[in-house]
Chain A
Amino acid sequence: MIINHPLLGPRDAAEFVYLGDASLIDRPDGEQDGAAAAFHTYQYLRDNPAGPHEELWFHEQGDRSWLVVTRDTTTHEITHVRLARDVARERGRGQ
């Protein structure tokens, strides 16, 4: 697989480390009511779709940036790549 890095261009997927579903960006608030249940859902449960999947890849052998890659799990085709930083900021996380 070739991941089209937004800053570096096309890179071999072997340069990256895979973390999992991009929903891992949406860490729950540990102070809220029912935080234990929310963290259980966040940490352990997955949609695991057969089809387009937004997922986190870390460019360990490169610029060490985190990417959100949209990839079809039935064909391995990558349709969209963004910096995870930009995705997280859009969702109102971090500064």
Chain B
Amino acid sequence: MRYSALRILMEGLTGNKGWTPTWRDAEPKAEYDVVIVGGGGHGLATAYYLAKVYGITNVAVVEKGWIGGGNVGRNTTIIRSNYMLPGNEPFYEFSMKLWENLEQDFNYNAMVSQRGVLNLYHSDGQRDAYARRGNAMRMYGVDAELLDQDAVRSLYPTLNYDNARFPIQGGLYQARGGTVRHDAVAWGYAKGASEHGVDIIQNCEVTGMDIAGGAITGVQTSRGTIRAKKVAVCVAGSSSKVMSLAGLRLPIESHVLQAFVSEAMKPIIPGVITYGAGHFYLSQSDKGGLVFGGDIDGYNSYAQRGNLPVIEDVCEGGMSLMPSLGRAKVVRSWGGIMDMSMDGSPFIDRTSVDGLYFNGGWCYGGFKATPASGYCYAHLLARDEPHHVATEYRLDRFMRGAMIDEKGVGAQPNLH
């Protein structure tokens, strides 16, 4: 089905009787060319680009629960490409360009809103670091602007500029950054993939991998055996669990990251702000709720819920940045499980098992990376060589000493 304004008008005049399901809920077949494990944003995007760009349509996406029930629905919906290192910045900019054309591409309203992402700085040293990052971004053709205090004040008049310890001196601004309706990303990719003939199979948990002679032949699932020429794992959060079925250990720890939503209020925060002096970032959803979060809890967890000390820390950060936040009630909080990698950067790579591919280790960067992750993973699956913007996301980079450590904290996953 093709969505358009005309279609809405026509359906409105005819009692809305013509709508059909957005995508097809398929039964598993005995064999596929490619089985993608994980029906989240990245898995569905991989299936979509595999079918649309690379012409491989005998593909199944198998999902343990329902599609979009994992991290693609458990994030704070922010998109940006304000990275610094050569291995990262071209990839995230590629992703940003795909976001900019995404809704027209898969014909689904994902509410992509380029409302601007602002990283605040509070000291001369931090300004220098952001100037450097902004220059690195511009060298890759990405928009970046260093704002002074007056410019920030005109965008966000309600912030606490005269905090005695952390006065806001300015910020690094990426105007093309913004937010996206996260569930619609999963549904849009599912629609696009389904229309190209991909089978989306829900309630289908992978319980084993069939490996013979060092090559993968299929997967065991809760809905029977599915043979496959290639198996593409794409289950960030549970990567270690799934890859252990093939006997592989990963440079990844699973950590819980919490996020929060306040009661709805009138528009007060036009874009996305990150606080430079504490673990806090903030945006406002189209429904009016303030969406905010902070740092990971910092210990291994698969629990999808965090603890109170981090909630307190996040709220203190928020109060310090914007004291008027104290009048708002927090109505919801949730936790998502992150693949925290050893250098804070992801993996899109082959593995030591022929035909078994791995995509994961997204830390908190997973949502904004969704389109490029799917595109580059599809390229790898189709061509058996990495896409040119994702050549550095190799599993062996630690052995080679080729880490992509944006934060420079070393092999300590809970600090990235």
Contact = CB atoms under 8 A, between A and B. Distances in A.
B101 interface: no
Given A40-B398, A55-B299, A73-B300, A45 B414 contact: no
A18 B299 contact: yes
Interface stretch (A26-34, A46-54, A82-90): A46-54
A1 B299 CA distance: 11
A53 B342 contact: no
B241 A46 contact: no
B301 interface: yes
A13 B309 contact: yes
Interface residues of B, number: 25
A79 interface: no
Interface stretch (B249-257, B276-284, B364-372): B249-257
Interface in A2-19: 12-14, 18-19
A76 interface: yes
Interface string B269-308: 0000000000000000000000000000011111100010
Contacts of A43: 342, 398, 411
B399 interface: yes
Contact of A73 (B251, B303, B309, B342): B303
**B interface, by DSSP: helix, strand, loop or mixed?**
mixed
Interface residues of A, number: 27
A21 B234 CA distance: 24
A75 interface: yes
A53 B302 CA distance: 11
Contacts, number: 68
A7 to B, nearest CB: 21
B241 A44 contact: no
A50 B253 CA distance: 10
Contacts of B238: 50
B399 to A, nearest CB: 5
B71 to A, nearest CB: 16
A48 B254 contact: yes
B114 interface: no
Interface in A27-80: 36-37, 40-41, 43-50, 53, 55, 71, 73-76
Contact of B254 (A1, A45, A73, A76): A73
Nearest to A36: B399
Contact of B413 (A20, A71, A76): A20
B169 interface: no
Among B240, B250, B302, B342, chain A packs the most CB atoms within 10 A around the CB of: B302
8 contacts: A20-B412, A40-B398, A43-B398, A46-B252, A48-B241, A48-B253, A50-B254, A71-B299
Given A40-B398, A43-B342, 6 more contacts: A12-B309, A18-B414, A40-B399, A45-B250, A47-B240, A47-B244
